[in-house]
Amino acid sequence: MNQKKKYDYLIVGAGLFGAVFAYRANKAGKKCLIIDKRSHIGGNVYCENINGINVHKYGAHIFHTSNKIVWDFVNSIVDFNRYTNSPIAIYKDQLYNLPFNMNTFYAMWHTKTPESTLAVLESQRKDALDALEGRTPDNLEEQAMALVGKDIYEILIKGYTEKQWGRPCNELPAFIIKRLPVRFTFDNNYFSDKYQGIPVGGYNVLVERLLSGIETKLNCNFFDNRLELEQIAEKIVYTGPIDEYFNFAFGRLEYRTVSFEMEELSCPNYQGNAVVNYTDIEIPYTRIIEHKHFEMFGDDVYSVKSTVISKEFSTEWSPGMEPYYPINDERNTRLFAKYKSMASDNDNVIFGGRLADYRYYDMDVVIWNALNAKI
């Protein structure tokens, strides 16, 4: 007769998937232990408080969704503020609103009506399509110009994308840009989702409340004590890299990664916006995040006399670096399918989250998947 194990679930990773799963399991009366190799909970949504400013330690995280179930769930844990993502792009000292909308086109072409803007766009699209001579775009550069024309591509896409991927656009696959939204309205809201905001007090509040009353061990690497940890729970919820779980049996999956240069400045308002993209290839970073603008609005910005900015750099990933963005090319897609097949054969392990699924997820999708995982 098998002896009952100490925990119903060992949850590897205290990010959003692990925290939401643990919350649900705890509510269902299950005993959980959640571990994380980092010194904090929250995964990549973790915020570091610097002089009253919640700094998004692993890059900007802006919650948005059209899923009312997910929105109601997170708001049942913590209130969300009114933050609306309206990024700015800078190219050779000229400012442009994102996403591409009438404000963008006025700055670029001085067109004032949808009709005049569409005429310019269609002319440039036609030039790009004529250059293709009837064939399908072979690379990202051709795909982008066929969608939005030469000016938008060269000013707002080319440099930023090449910095992101570390390769010329004419060497990147066309499928990376399947569509580029163009709005013929003066609307700077980047997302079209119905709900949007940042947790009041930062993401740490959300994760701390999800894990309230649940045993948590930090600085605990699953792979350092794997044999012991696998014996203490009936089931494992694993949110780390799927290839590492299977000891890289078929080889390593590949990623892009990002690094950050953080500065605390003595001025109260550095750039007037949370997100400013730098699309000029000569500038090495892709964007600057000014963190206080995620949670401070209007005159509140000046209630804290300093500010914190992060310059974001996209770089090649190598083992030991933080994996951020999956490279979903033919090789990695084929490799992941092999690992996914192995995972499907394992009834005692639940795989979830961006690393275990080898997929870039918006936060609402991670939470939705965790809400629907079988307990």
Q: Length of the chain, please? A: 375
Q: Which residues pair with 255 in a beta bridge?
A: 326
Q: Which one from 8, 160, 183, 290 is the annotated catalytic residue? A: 183
Catalytic residue at 226? no
Catalytic residue at 361? no
Catalytic residue at 82? no
Q: Which one from 142, 295, 312, 364 is the annotated catalytic residue? A: 312
Catalytic residue at 364? no
Give the list of residues 6+ apart from residue 183 with CB closer than 8 angstroms, or none.
Answer: 99, 100, 101, 102
How does strand 47-50 pair with strand 53-56? Answer: antiparallel
Helices (H), 78-188: 102-109, 114-132, 140-152, 158-165
**229-250: string of b/e by CB count within 10 Å (b at 16+)?**
beeebebbbbbbbbbbbeeeee
Q: Which one from 8, 256, 339, 357 is the annotated catalytic residue? A: 256
Catalytic residue at 312? yes
Q: Which one from 133, 135, 179, 282 is the annotated catalytic residue? A: 179
Q: Which two tokens stand for residue 244?
A: 């590492």
The answer to whether 100 and 94 are in contact (CB under 8 A) is no
Looking from the CA of 308 toward its CB, the CA atoms found within 13 Å total 22
Q: Which one from 127, 264, 322, 360 is the annotated catalytic residue? A: 360
Q: Which one from 142, 190, 195, 287 is the annotated catalytic residue? A: 287
Q: Which of 247, 199, 237, 210 is nearest to 353 (CA)?
A: 237
Chain position carrying tokens 């948005």:
64
- Give catalytic residue positions: 179, 183, 256, 287, 312, 360, 362
